[in-house]
Structure 1
Amino acid sequence: MQKVRHTPVAPTRTQRLASGGEIDAHRHDDHQIVYAGRGTVSVTTDAGSWVAPATRALWIPAGTVHRHQAHGELDLHLVGLPAAVNPLGLDEPAVLAVGPLLRELIVAYTLTPEDDSPPHLRLRAVMLDRLKAAPEQPLRLPAPTTPLLRELHDILRADPADNRSLDELGRQIGAGARTLSRHLRDDLGLTYPQWRTQIRLHHALVLLADNTPVTTVAHRCGWSSASTFISVFRRTFGHTPGSVPTDGNFSDRSRPNSGSLTQAFDH
């Protein structure tokens, strides 16, 4: 069993991770905000995984065992908040939309030493106010709990471009499509096309963080054409994959989308 570090106080700091770098499994008694000012960060918990480029931040509630991984060169901004301070009222991990102002507040707050000076406290108060207004993004890739779905999950994560039907995949793992569909509905609340699209989009974010060309990303993630991939990506994230800001430079094209993923997942 993997040992989990316990660091009671969640740090507030900025640190750099090389592409592929990791922070091992750990937990805090505090809440934590995780933001990648450059690169893309993924956070994994027992409940699932989240991937966030520079238009997103991750909310990690107190006590949640989690680990980080860098995709692309990563400037990681961490904000620790006491367990009694929960501006979002969330008790589960979540992805939040980050606009230009909130980005600058998080970066400024994590670059300066923590103190109780009036300017620092004012900066913190404004940052928390902006967090309250940050739309939550339904970008979690849920972790399956049943053995059959875990086996199916491993197949699709190993090759997101696998276009076999659920019936064909079921024959490989010894289960019928109806049985797998029922498990997906009961365990994850998703249809097979919705779940597969989630897996593909998460993998696409990782590839884009490594500056993989959009056409190559579309092919590796199983879309029939780059235009189809771009359409699904735009509906999901509010901007095209070619305009994913991996260095924190926002533009009108890369404003966070506050919409639902339901339509995108049906394709």
Structure 2
Amino acid sequence: MPVRRQPRPTAGVTSHLWPSGGRHLWPSGEVSAVQSHARGHLVYAASGVLAVHTERGTSIVPANRVAWTPAGFTHYHRAHGDTDMRIVFVAPSLARLIPERPVVFLASNLAREVLLALTGPRNYDDDAPAYSRSARLRLLRVLVDDLREAHEQPLHLPEPRDDRLQAIARMLHENPADNAPLAELGKTIGASTRTLSRLFRKELGMTFYEWRTQLRIHHALVLLADGHDTTQTAYACGWANPSGFIAAFTDIIGTTPGRYRTGRQTTIPARLKSAISDVG
């Protein structure tokens, strides 16, 4: 979901930073500075919803997903809902095992717990036993191996380069509930359906209707994070009825909007937490 203004400094953020990662507690609506890093990094929202914007498009990161931004990509983040953002930098030797493009992965129980361990109090609290360098490296290798086996998720919304597609994208970002067919949108900007369909497949690798569904799911995640209920969100994002929205949301996100909104994600087994806390 594009931000229509320049990102502002993160005045309301509480941060803990260290060379291999960090934790940022952001109030809803907070936007980071535009930046790039010499190392690729993984970001995870332990609570709230995080949007990662790059020149390639926007990735939405709810609590059961992990976003990867390769080294050198200019990007910024925005929090939707009060967000607990975790970031882990990945050394080039391990980054080569991850795609060389921004991507979103499904976060397994294992990946989630390792991410929390790598960004938890043992990394910044003097009263907590610190991980050794070798222990951190072992955990990071486990994380990368797990993500290599994970399915890439359709939560990265590519942004078009063609002026005609950009015009359509602007209209739908401003009004995701617009149900106009592609032919009607094409008349508005002076382009044929055939031309626009070809451009969507060539530039974005998907059909117009697939792209619009992705855009709507992005908006839905933001609205749910801001406290809107399932029915309000369904109509605001263009679904004719809540049941159609619930089906589409569940198919892409893996849980219903109601369960997602109340934060009832998959529980991490206590034995897995215990095993990871004993590393190092």
TM-score, normalization by structure 2: 0.80
1:238 aligns with 2:254: yes
1:65 aligns with 2:65: no
Instruction: Name the residue aligned to 2:207.
Output: 191
Please state how far the C-alpha of 1:158 moved relative to its aligned partner: 0.3
1:144 aligns with 2:160: yes
Counterpart Cα distance in 2 of 1:63 and 1:19: 27
SS of 2:94 mapped into structure 1: coil
Structure 1 contact 34–76 (Cα < 8 Å) conserved: yes
User: Quick one: higher RCO (CA 8 Å, sep 6+), 1 or 2?
Assistant: 1
Structure 2 spans left out of the alignment, 5+ residues: 1-5, 8-17, 124-129, 269-280
Label 1:89 to 1:117 Cα distance change in 2 as closer, same or farther (>3 A).
closer
After superposition, the CA RMSD in angstroms is 2.4
SS of 1:78 mapped into structure 2: strand
Match of 1:130 among 136, 146, 167: 146
Instruction: Name the residue aligned to 1:12.
Output: 21
Counting matched residue pairs gives 246
Structure 1 contact 38–76 (Cα < 8 Å) conserved: yes
Label 1:124 to 1:192 Cα distance change in 2 as closer, same or farther (>3 A).
closer
1:95 aligns with 2:104: yes
Instruction: Name the residue aligned to 2:57.
Output: 48
Label 1:123 to 1:226 Cα distance change in 2 as closer, same or farther (>3 A).
same
SS of 1:25 mapped into structure 2: coil
1:28 aligns with 2:28: no
Out of 81-90 and 91-100, give the one that drifted further.
81-90
Counterpart Cα distance in 1 of 2:208 and 2:133: 52
Counterpart Cα distance in 1 of 2:86 and 2:262: 14
Q: Which runs of 4+ in 1 moved over 4 A?
A: 245-249
Counterpart Cα distance in 2 of 1:121 and 1:197: 39
Q: Tell me the amino acid that sits aligned with residue 150 of structure 2.
A: A
Match of 1:78 among 82, 87, 91: 87
Instruction: Name the residue aligned to 1:260.
Output: none
Q: Percent identity?
A: 39
Counterpart Cα distance in 1 of 2:24 and 2:261: 19
TM-score, normalization by structure 1: 0.84
* Superposition map of 1:247-266 within 5 A: 249-251=265-267
